[in-house]
Amino acid sequence: MIYVIDDDEAVRSSVQALLMAHRLAAQCYAGVREFLNDVALDQPGCVITDVAMPDISGLELVSSLKATGSALAIVVVTGVADVPMAVRLMEYGALTLLQKPYVADDLLAAVRRGLTISHEHAELKRRQQGLQQKLALLTEEERGVMECMLADKPNKAIAAELSLSLRTVDRRRQTVLEKLEVESIPEMAILIGSAQLAGKSPVRN
Amino acid sequence: MGTDSPTLVNDLDLFRLGLEQIDDRGFLLVDLHGQIVSWNIGATHLTGLSSDETVGRPLANLFAKSDQLTLLSYFANASRAASLPRRLTLTLLREPGQACSVEARLTPLRQGGTIVAFSAEIAPMATSALHSSSVNAATEQLVKVLQAHVKDVFFVLRLEGDRTYRFVDVNNAFLAVTGLTLDQVVNRLVNEVIPEPSLKLVLSKYEEAATRGCSVSWEEVTTFPSGVRSGEVTVTPVISAAGICTHLLGTVHDVTNARLDAERLRRGEDRLLAAQRMAKLGVWDADLKTQEVWWSDELYRLFGQTPETFHPTNANTIAQVPDEDQPVVRQAIQSLFMGAASCRFQHRVHRPDGATIWLDVEGRLERDGDGQPARMWGVSQDITEQRTAESDLRQSETRYRLLVQHARVVIWEANPETFDFTYVSEYCEELTGYPPAAWLEPGFWASHIHPEDAEHAINYCLSATREGQDHQFEYRLQHARGGYVWVEDVVKVVVENGRVVAVRGALIDRTARKAAEQALRESEARLRRLGDSLPGGAVYVLQRTSSGERNFLYVSQGLERILGVTPEEAMRDSNAVYGLIPADDVERMAAAECASMTNLTPFDCEFRERTRGGELRWLHCRSFPRRLVDGSTIWDGVVLDITERKRAEQRVREALNIFNAGRAVLVRWQKAFPYRMEAVTESIRQFGYSPEEFTSGQLNWIDIIFPDDFDRTHEELIDALGNQRSHLEQRYKIRTKSGEIRWIYDFTVPVFDSEGQVTHADGYLLDITDHWKAEEALRQREQRLEVALSAGGMGTWDWDIATGEILWSDTHFTLLGYPERFAPVNYEFFVARVHPDDLSAVEHAIASARESQARYHHEFRVIWPDGSLRWLAGFGRFTYDRAGHATRMYGVLTDITDRRRAAEELAQRQSELRHAARLQTMGQLVATYSHEVTQPLAAISNFASASLRLLEDPTELPTGLLGEFVTMIDQQSRRAGDILQRFRAFSRRSPAKPEVCDVNDLLRQSVALLQYELGRCGAELQWELCAAPAAVFGDKIQLEQVFVNLLLNARDAVAELPTARRRLTVRTRAAVADIVIEIEDQGEGVAPALLGRLFEPFVSLKPDGMGIGLSICRSIVEEHGGQISGGNNQTRGATFQVRLPSMIQTHLPENSV
């Protein structure tokens, strides 16, 4: 979903019109607060917002979305841009900054990219959450075995390290794979690695 | 008395105290005016008000407005007519904003059919009415009993602090005894009711009762409206549970009447004693058995003794009686013992102080049962004055006789039957020459009266005497030496027992007076005869009353000849004459008249009067005043018309003035050309010629007349002679013997014979050269002034409005671009020179100066003949005739082109500076501008792209969308245009264009320019604009510049502050003649060092400021006739204020628009 936030009604509706013409559905908001009240921030989507607005500035919006780890991609448009503002926006994780009046294709491109990234980011996040749930099923002992497995240690070494019988190691090893719903150790390594990747911001690509 | 009745009073009080304790309903007494008299606890609970707050106030005030009227009308009607108890549901107002419904029952309390008060019971709606009505009835009953049946006065006082007592209630007896009304007593302080000197006593007694806590009684006498009342008063304190005296109950037993009786008795005795003293009457009483003697005080006084030192025994008494009177006294007393009922005698008393008095004594003797003398008593009266008066009378009679002998009056006595004299005083001989003996002969009186008077005098005297009437009349008596004397006879008729027994009288010599009267009559008649025949005058008799009113008693016919006023008119109203005296002479005439009236000196005055025909005539008035008994003054006088004389005098004076100068030349001319001089005075020598030269015919006057003047003068002369003109006046030049040219004034009078033929001419010649020279000098001075003016570049004009001709000085022509002057111009010529744009203003300025009689000052442009443009300033003034019509306009004109150009240049520079400042401000507004303008541009761009996309791929989407997008594009382009326009206007360099504008709109536009700037720093703007249109006359851009500047300053002041303080207030209000604009911030305020210099150039509030903004603001505001000021707020921040003259000088309420 695309969200348009601008206190100027004409600008707002023009953006919506543009998106509509390109078969993109958009929801409009006259202010940041209205938007925050209405929208689930963990859902993927793209926000097009102005900087100068009466209630909460676009800058504040960007920084707060970043803080909550939202999946939303943010395209910032502004009439007056200066370098310090641009730098801060980027730091906060805005997808891009467009200066008004912009070329419509630039906006469309930015929005499309934002949507893609946001969806990817959401997917990763979803995966990570799945992993966390699975990991949470593991006992302490199983977790120790899992870490040794990730370090690619043989069963014997694991048994020695953890002072366990080989049989026990083997059984736990089986339990770990079952709980993590993977077939093999490489598969498990991929699962955990990609989930860790999703903890980062989607724009850091 | 004071102890008996209070039981009843106490009952009432207890009852009332009981009522006051009722706490579930209000119970009040209300007087006839609807004012609360008493108040209970219940009422306090119900209303939250204490008795102090309510007693004495109208009951109605407790209730809602709608109920007040009901209550007021109830009280108003109830006191008038038989009224019934009434139950009302009212809205009780408690603390502000609180109200509750109560039921109020109002019951009139009657005494003998008259309503004297009301009880008011107020209960919350739920309370049982049955219970309240029973309480009410009980009170009513009690009050009725008290008011109707208690005759003694009772009253209730409330203690209000130290020695302050207020009457809470009194009964009818109180009012009846004192004569006061309920209003004058109830709810008033004791010292408002009881007058001094009783008040002091009363207060001390109250104090005693209150402090000692027991009843106190006393007697007091107080003056009330009903009179002086005496009463025995008892007050009893009411002690509260806390042991404090709260009330005093009092009763009074009125003893006035008893006191009055005693007083009257005492007075009676006093009066008797006083009467005795006044009559100098002594009373004595002797008990003959005990030998005790009693004397009244007055008798002691008459004897010059005192009861303490004098024992009135027989011997002591008789010792003070002179020896010669003692026998009288003894004899009288003896007569009593001999059996007389009373005795009366007079004797003298020698008093120890040496004085002697006469006493008139009447004595009586009383005998006991045995017929023995038991008591002798009587009165002795001082009759000294009476005795003295008698002797005085005797003496005066003697003196009267002497007077009669010597008076210049004949005192006579005659037989009332025959009118023969029985006595005449000696003066009769002096009066008539007949000795008294002759007078006493029978028939003397009747035979010596003037034959003309005899019949009347005798008949009158006879008839009056017969009727017993005193009378008085005048007649003439024959004198022994011939002739008659006028006498006035004053007759006294003596009547006894209805019969005339004697006639007495006095003859007074009236001859002198009669003669005077006669003379006066004759003189008046002569005067009048004279007056009527007086040719140029009139006689008059004028009366001036003591109140200053003038009446003509007589005016002769001559008046009409002089003034055209008939004597009848003058006598009817003296103003017909006095009103004609010109103001200049009135005062002089009045002063002369006043002096004559005061000193009775002749009135002699010359003054002028305007005749009916309007001609001014000189009058000479001369009259003699006399004073009448009633204080009025009469003038008999003559008024003469001396106009001719005055004129002659005037002429003589004029002639003398001329000849006295010694320069005039008298001439007798021959009648025909060459008009030789027949005779001429020596003064002709002043021209260097001798008289002989002219008289001999050797030289004629016309020979030396300056040739230029000759024809003119000769024609005049021929005309004068031909038309038999009375005289001829001419001015011309002559050449003296030394060749000098002199100016001559020639006055010639042709002399005609009986057939109208000229015989010769007389006249005089006068050298007026010097006079002429003076005039010439004046002309030169004028020229010099003109030169001075033209040196200063000033032209003069003089516009004769009657002829329309305008005289311009040379410079004036120059100023209008004409190198040389030409013929006089007219108004049309002038206005044709004026620049067409200025023409109407010039004409308006001239017309308004003419109308308002004010100075004309106007600046305007003219177009020179060569087409160049000049600025001129005219200063002028109109002159007016008596009727107020403009006659001339004159003034000066000056060229102010350079000044105007400088001013224009200055304005130009200023405008440029302001523009530069605006551009600088614009720099600060760039962000706002970009933001503002990019919004619509972005929208346009988006809509355009969207539209293009729709055109490429028209599927699926609703068809009307494209049109909608295009409409939006159109709208947004206009929006962008507007924004551009706004900023461009602000930064444009344009000449000032003053117009009517609304300050509120200007402020909104100014804020619109700053919207982004204000928003960016988070400043919150608060509007407090006046409702009425704030119309001013000014240049919108410049005023906006001021406001933008002030707003930017305000924003800067708060930009760095915490959010809560980033607040600006924009305020406008209409003062009487101004619109006041205030821009307030909550910042740190202006540094004290800068405060006084805020609007000076190069003084800046900001570290990076140039210090131009505010100084430009000031110059703009001042140019608009306003003021700008700035200062720190009392609490925090600064406020800048701009005052601009309002277009609407209005006092309309703000909501009227």
Nearest residue on chain A to B1016, judged by CA atoms?
A: A52
Instruction: Sort B1111 into a burial class: Cβ within 10 Å, 0-12 / 13-18 / 19+.
Output: buried
Task: Quote the pLDDT of residue B274.
Answer: 54
Burial B458-481 (b: 16+ CB within 10 A, else e): eebbeebbeeeeebeeebbbbeee
Could you say which DSSP state residue B360 is in? E
Dist. CA A39–CA B118, nearest whole Å? 75
Contact B940 A17 (CB under 8 A): no
Query: Which positions in chain B touch A10 (Cβ < 8 Å)?
Result: 935-936, 939, 968, 971-972, 975
B945 and A CB contact within 8 Å: yes
Radius of gyration of chain A (CA): 23
Q: What is the pLDDT of residue B389?
A: 62
> Which of B800, B825, B794 is CA-nearest to residue B812?
B794
Cα–Cα distance, B1026 to B999 (Å, whole number): 10
Q: CA-to-CA distance for B868 and B901, rounded, in angstroms? A: 14
Give the nearest partner residue to A17 out of B931, B942, B953, using CB atoms: B942
- DSSP structure class, residue B350: E
Closest CA to B844 of B832, B858, B833: B858
How far apart, in whole angstroms, are the C-alpha atoms of residue B376 and residue B288? 7
The one-letter amino acid code at B1150 reads E
- Across the interface, of A15, A52, A79, the residue whose CB is closest to B942 is A15
Q: CA B65 to CA B53: how far, in whole Å? A: 19
Q: Which two tokens stand for residue B36?
A: 């609360």
User: What is the CB-side half-sphere exposure of residue B532 using CA atoms within 13 A?
Assistant: 6
- Name, in order, each residue with C-beta under 8 angstroms of A31's C-beta and a sequence gap of 6 or more: A5, A7, A53, A54, A55, A56
CA distances, B386 to each of B278, B279, B298, B326, B399 (Å): 14, 12, 18, 21, 20
- Angle (CA) B879 B882 B886, round 5°: 35
The reported pLDDT for the residue numbered B13 is 47
Q: Rounded to two decimals, what is the model's pTM?
A: 0.38
Q: What values do phi and psi take at B365, rounded to 5?
A: -120, 130
DSSP code string of B844-906:
HHHHHHHHHTPPEEEEEEEE-TTS-EEEEEEEEEEEE-TTS-EEEEEEEEEE-HHHHHHHHHH
Residue closest to B26 by CA, chosen among B96, B105, B134: B105
Longest dimension (CA), chain A: 73
| Residues of chain A positioned with their CB less than 8 A from the CB of B1014 | none
Q: Does B204 touch chain A (CB under 8 A)?
A: no
CA–chain centroid gap for A70, Å, is 6
Give the pLDDT confidence score for residue B267 in this predicted structure: 56
Could you give the CA distance from residue B880 to residue B889 in angstroms, rounded to a whole number?
9
Q: Which bin fits B56, alpha (ψ -120 to 50), beta or left (φ > 0)?
A: left
B957 touches chain A (CB under 8 A): yes
Q: Which of B421, B503, B507 is nearest to B469 (CA)?
A: B503
Nearest by CB to A10, which of B946, B950, B968? Answer: B968
Q: Are A71 and A47 in contact (CB under 8 A)?
A: no
Beta carbons of A17 and B1012 less than 8 Å apart: no
**How distant is the Cα of B68 from the closest Cα of chain A, in angstroms?**
55
Q: How close A87 comes to chain B (CA, Å)?
A: 19
Q: Tokens standing for A68?
A: 């909550």
With beta carbons under 8 A apart, name residues in chain B contacting A17: 942-943, 946, 961, 965, 968
Strands B281-287 and A73-78: unpaired
Instruction: Tell whether B947 is within 8 A of chain A (Cβ).
Output: yes
A14·B975 Cβ contact <8 A: no
Q: A101 to chain B: which residues are within 8 Å by CB?
A: 934, 937-938, 940-941
Q: Which residues pair with B665 in a beta bridge?
A: B765
Q: Identify the sign of the CA torsion B509, B513, B519, B521.
A: negative
Residues B245, B822: Cα–Cα separation, whole Å: 113
C-alpha B612/C-alpha B857 separation (Å) is 48
The C-alpha of A67 sits at a distance from chain B's nearest C-alpha, in angstroms, of 24
**What's the confidence (pLDDT) of residue A124?**
80
Residue A87 near residue A169 (C-beta atoms within 8 A): no
Confidence of residue A163 (pLDDT cuts 50, 70, 90): confident
Distances (CA, A) of B811 to B625, B808, B821, B864: 72, 8, 8, 14
CB contact under 8 A, B1015 and A54: yes
- Here the ipTM equals 0.77
CA B227 from centre of chain: 42
**Which residue does chain B place closest to A23, by CA atoms?**
B957
Selected for mutation to probe chain A from B925, B926, B935 (highest A CB count within 10 Å) is B935
Alpha helices in B55-107 (DSSP H): 65-78
Give tens-digit pLDDT for B211-270. 877 778 888 888 888 777 777 787 777 776 667 777 777 777 776 665 665 565 555 555
Alpha-carbon gap, residue B411 to B490, rounded angstroms:
10
Mean pLDDT by 10 residues, chain B (1153 residues): 34 49 69 78 77 81 76 69 68 69 75 69 55 42 51 76 80 80 84 82 84 79 80 75 74 68 56 57 80 82 85 84 87 84 85 85 82 82 73 55 59 84 82 87 88 87 86 87 84 82 80 68 65 71 84 82 84 84 85 87 85 81 79 81 75 56 75 83 84 87 87 86 80 88 84 79 82 72 67 80 83 85 81 89 89 86 89 87 83 84 79 80 76 85 88 73 87 88 78 84 87 76 85 88 89 82 88 88 84 75 68 87 89 90 59 37
Q: Tokens 């206007």 identify what position?
A: B985
Number of neighbouring beta carbons within 10 Å of residue A147: 12
Are the Cβ atoms of B943 and A18 closer than 8 angstroms?
yes
Q: Which of residues 18-47 of A touch B (CB under 8 A)?
A: 18, 20-23
Q: What is the pLDDT of residue A153?
A: 83
C-alpha–C-alpha distance, residues B892 and B914, integer Å? 37
> Across the interface, do A11 and B935 touch by the CB < 8 Å criterion?
yes
| Spatial CB neighbours of B735, under 8 Å, sequence gap ≥ 6 | B704, B706, B741, B742
Q: Say if residue B625 is preceded by a cis peptide, omega within 30 of 0.
A: no
pLDDT of B631 reads 75
What is the per-residue pLDDT for B1066?
93
Q: How confident is the model at residue A109 (pLDDT cuts 50, 70, 90)?
A: very high
Instruction: Enter the DSSP assignment of B1051.
Output: H
Any idea which residue has 């005449």 for tokens?
Answer: B424
Instruction: Pick A22's closest partner by Cβ from B931, B936, B949.
Output: B949
Cis peptide before B674 (omega within 30 of 0): yes
Q: How far apart are CA B622 and CA B642, in angstroms?
A: 12
CA distance B204 to B165: 12
Yes or no, beta carbons of A52 and B931 under 8 Å apart = yes
Q: What is residue B629's predicted lDDT score, i.e. its pLDDT?
A: 67
8 Å CB contact of B938 and A22? no
